[in-house]
Amino acid sequence: MLTIVFPIKNPVTPPKSAFGWFLSKFSSMLLVGTIQAILVDAILLYGLKIEVQNVGYFFLFSLITSWVFMAILQFLVTAFSDAGRFIAIILLILQLTTSAGTFPLELIPTPLQKFNALVPMTYSVSGYKAVISSGNYSQMWHSALVLGCTIVAFGLLTYAVLAISFKKHYSNLPGNREESVTA
């Protein structure tokens, strides 16, 4: 829904630099991710009275989880527009099937089990299990590290797409500076 209402790629005004363009779009997505994580956590903790091992870690892990999916969504829509939205839905279905959040990994069809370690939702499920029930914070931090690396990777990919688009569409405007793509 956000990708339909909020212009994920198109700037409101012509950007002055590719990095500034990226920063404005990425920070907007992270802000929305932060708000949604806080709202959902508040409802879970104070509305539904879910008990967690550590409230602070629960909020932190929710932020990281929200940010990773926002970064993935931003890249897909920035790079592929409407096709990116479709790819995001396919990726969501694949993750729901293979992350072992709904069914144990052993019950997932063998060909799909190979995707388990590749999808970020696997690490979200693992981290949430740790912070909600087991208290195994080393597992939570491992999952957070993998998710953090995913945020960085998709952030860099989004920056590369915007840098290429900036060079193509905006670098010739007066006062703009061309930036090289080093991502």
What does pTM read for this prediction? Answer: 0.88
Mean pLDDT by 10 residues, the chain (183 residues): 76 90 95 97 97 97 98 97 95 91 87 92 96 96 98 98 92 64 51
pLDDT at 12: 85
Is the Cα dihedral 154, 155, 157, 161 positive or negative? Answer: positive
The pLDDT of residue 178 = 54
What is the structure's pLDDT at 183?
47
Domain ranges of the chain: 17-169
